[in-house]
Amino acid sequence: MLTKRIIACLDVHAGRVVKGVQFVDLIDAGDPATQAARHAREGADEIVLLDITATHEGRKTLLDTVRRTARELFVPFCVGGGIRTARDAEQVFEAGADKVSINSAALADPALIGAIGASFGVQAVVVAIDARRDRAAADPVRDAQVFVNGGRKLTGRRVVEWAREAEQRGAGEILLTSMDADGTRAGFDCELTAAVSEAVSIPVIASGGAGTVAHFADVFARGKADAALAASIFHFGVSSARSLKQELAQVGIPVRLPC
């Protein structure tokens, strides 16, 4: 039976895993390669590494980090942050990533989705979407507004129509972050996730709001997510993917166990 994926997310700044609120007060949470290996060992089904600074001068550091992280990692490995061109993506793949996540660059140039897929396969292209419900819209959920630049800039796109266009242009997966839920630890936005998941045939990874095991069960059942991203709850040994999955199995969510 196809299982629901638990994906460990590492935010990386200048070659280190960091934790912070709204990109401020960053706390050093360790070495990316070590952390990724630990998450994989502790049952994560996949690793996402997000370069949260993604400055030009940081690219070389990132590629080195990707190379070191990929070396001993035998689960799918996705890298995002600052990938603007097909050449950027190629370098990240050559460093050992299996997938790239693109967000602002895909909105600025939607043809980039197909360009990366043409060389590396559609499964390698994850389109990340940051969305916030639009209470003024006829359908606040399906017409949630899509933002870029870490949520600072409105794009004018609506979440469902953009997800559909991304799929049609060759995205392999959608990584959907609810800006309303992000950072709250009060649960995923299940309505938003379900609206996108039902609108596309490619997998949807839910992100933003994870705080408890019940939140994950909810986003898989009610939110129809194919995978869920967990960042903060895995850091500092608060919980492991294995213990999370064991609890999910008990409430009937299919997960990869033992792992």
Q: Least separation, in Å, of the C-beta of 176 and other proteins?
A: 15
Is 246 a binding residue for other proteins by CB under 8 A? The answer is no
Q: Which of 10, 116, 124, 131 binds other proteins (CB under 8 A)?
A: 124
Give min distance, CB of 93 to other proteins, in A: 5
Binding-site member from 203, 208, 209, 223 for other proteins (CB under 8 A): 203
Residue placing its CB nearer to other proteins in the complex, 18 or 127: 127
Q: State the nearest-atom distance from the C-beta of 203 to other proteins, in Å.
A: 5
User: Is residue 80 close enough to count as binding other proteins by CB under 8 A?
Assistant: no
161 near other proteins, judged by CB under 8 A? no
Nearest-angstrom CA–CA distance, 15 and 63: 9
Give the residue carrying structure tokens 């979407």: 129
- Which of 134, 148, 124 is closest to 195 using CA atoms? 134
Q: How far apart are CA 187 and CA 190, in angstroms?
A: 8
# binding residues, other proteins (CB under 8 A): 33
Tokens of residue 20, six digits:
């912070």
- 99, two tokens: 């997938």
User: For residue 98, what are the CA distances in angstroms to 46, 54, 70, 93, 246?
Assistant: 10, 19, 9, 6, 27
Smallest gap from residue 201 Cβ to other proteins (A): 5
- Contact call for residue 96 and other proteins (CB under 8 A): yes
Closest CA to 224 of 245, 203, 252: 203
DSSP 181-240: TTTT-S---HHHHHHHHHH-SS-EEEES---SHHHHHHHHHTS--SEEEE-GGGGGGS--
Kindly name the residue from 98, 130, 143, 189 that is annotated as catalytic.
Answer: 130
Can you say whether residue 80 is alpha, beta or left, with left for phi > 0 and alpha for psi between -120 and 50 degrees? beta
For the window 213-242, what string marks contact with other proteins as x by the rule CB under 8 A? -------------xx---------------
| Residue 51 a catalytic site member | no
Catalytic residues: 11, 130
Q: Which residues bind to other proteins, rule: CB under 8 A?
A: 1-5, 40, 45, 70-72, 74-76, 93-96, 98, 117, 120-124, 172-173, 201-203, 226-227, 256, 259
